[in-house]
Chains A and B, each alone.
Chain A
């Protein structure tokens, strides 16, 4: 997909490619970046543990991804290729503005293709394309504490984490089954990382939870308002919580994506009018385009061969 901001070819606007004058590379000053990287090192060393950090003010409100942006800013280098996803899409407001923010403050190359990206900042989705060892995934996490629903005190939740007292997490799941007859948490579905810490996967759909397990890429989470960092190192066991008689499942759809026809990706429901017409389309716009391109190529090839056989 080509976006307006990506249309400028290098050289044409050489001044725009250079980092914004008067600002440090990637906006944050180097000592702040180092502080965040220290926090991240600790987070990687203790998978799933929430590391407090001195969150900085970013030029956008909390809730827009200030945590993820600080993590990205502290890690991004000149050689990186950045991709930003918002709800799976590369072209929504949040994704576009964060991408242009980093383009202006670092001058690094940006992409919408998961394969090409070395650093992907995401909000609420994991790309459909499997990630590789040389890629980084940075999540924007609004509420890093999975126990908050039952325990309002931060002091108490820290004790519960420290002592591994996770009975109350299952109380939440029990309540869910009691109310809905099934585990109805469809996003931010709590996971246990490396058999130890119960962790919020950020509000990704539970469809994406299995992708976190044994993922080759390093997954980093930044919560700007709550000022917490946590991480899931590569090839770490990530287990979604459940009951023996109500095992964890992912969402399923009865129909394929209306655009590309994929049956394996996460679909968004789009309401088309007020008479109940709706369509289901891939939430991952890049994967959708790729599948569509493949499908068209296959159809074209099919046409070619059929035309060839006609002759």
Chain B
């Protein structure tokens, strides 16, 4: 993979909710294996931006280009070329530029469950609460066409190990899990197809501090091991400092400051960032 080419590029993304600004004129590039943190207070447009970047919300204007290199996707795309071939330019190399918002709904949904992942703040939104953990982990594989129970089960057990969940809980429904365990399961469910880019919306929100710390450790390890690119939305600067390489600070729908995480947090320039950093309790 050529790491000098960004994996995801957004150009002048704007979302207006009527008169109200969701977020305005945001451009960013994300390189493979990079963790980008987006911080800001509630209502600053973080989630709106994340939803547009992941293709789940159509922007008022602007473009999101994702560079797909997955052969599996090309194969799937080959089967459906008639539908939206004109929408993206296919390069001669394996790298294909895909405008996320020009894809058909079916293509976008397929991309979201193969090469992309989305970890919701509330595990209930990302899990099927009434089917077992094993089936939750296997769902993306089954959607991709896996039809072998033994292999699905082996994969599920392997992933329970990787996210440090006890193997004997594989047949329990997530409804019987604790909040932290549900979040781990949601991560396993997303990573099982080895995505290249995962969107995380406050993955540690609503968890107590010790559980948060273990989950952050886990995410940190998985990101490193799998060479994942992550776009992480959080209002918790500690989470951002621990996980992200680069940071964007949002305020009232605008990006007010961005740069390397340590640089932004240790030497904040914008008044809002200074306020944000100074409002952390110093231990």
Residues of A within 8 A of B (CB): 150, 159, 162-168, 170-171, 174-175, 177-179, 242-246
Contact B105 A246 (CB under 8 A): no
B283 touches A (CB below 8 Å): no
Contact B128 A165 (CB under 8 A): no
Interface segment among B54-62, B84-92, B146-154, B248-256: the answer is B146-154
B11 touches A (CB below 8 Å): no
Partner of A244, one of B109, B144, B147, B153: B147
Q: Which residue of A lies closest to B145 (CB)?
A: A167
A150-B131, A167-B143 known; A177-B149 Cβ under 8 A: yes
Give Cα A150–Cα B143 distance, bound, in whole angstroms.
Answer: 14
B40 touches A (CB below 8 Å): no
Contact B106 A163 (CB under 8 A): yes
Q: What would be 25 A-B contacts, judged by CB atoms less than 8 Å apart? A: A150-B131, A162-B106, A163-B109, A164-B106, A165-B143, A167-B139, A167-B142, A167-B143, A167-B144, A168-B139, A168-B142, A171-B128, A171-B135, A171-B142, A174-B142, A175-B131, A175-B132, A177-B149, A178-B171, A243-B147, A244-B147, A244-B148, A244-B149, A245-B149, A245-B150
A163-B105, A165-B109, A244-B147 known; A174-B128 Cβ under 8 A: no
Q: CB-CB < 8 A to B131: which residues of A?
A: 150, 171, 175
For residue A189, give the distance in angstroms from its CB to the closest CB of chain B: 16
Partner of B149, one of A165, A166, A174: A174
Give Cα A144–Cα B42 distance, bound, in whole angstroms.
Answer: 44
B195 touches A (CB below 8 Å): no
Give Cα A168–Cα B139 distance, bound, in whole angstroms.
Answer: 7
| Tier of interface size on chain B | 20 to 34
Give Cα A178–Cα B147 distance, bound, in whole angstroms.
Answer: 14
Q: CB-CB < 8 A to A245: which residues of B?
A: 148-150
For residue A162, give the distance in angstroms from its CB to the closest CB of chain B: 8
Q: CB-CB < 8 A to A164: which residues of B?
A: 106
Q: CB-CB < 8 A to B139: which residues of A?
A: 167-168, 171
A245-B150, A246-B149 known; A174-B140 Cβ under 8 A: no
Give Cα A6–Cα B131 distance, bound, in whole angstroms.
Answer: 50
B134 touches A (CB below 8 Å): yes
Output the residue of A162, A165, A167 with the most chain B CB within 10 A. A167
Q: CB-CB < 8 A to B150: which residues of A?
A: 245
Contact B142 A150 (CB under 8 A): no
Given contacts A175-B135, A177-B149, could you give 20 more A-B pairs where the C-beta distance is less than 8 Å? Answer: A150-B131, A159-B105, A163-B106, A163-B109, A165-B106, A165-B109, A165-B143, A166-B143, A167-B143, A168-B128, A168-B142, A171-B128, A171-B131, A171-B142, A175-B131, A178-B132, A242-B147, A243-B149, A244-B147, A245-B150
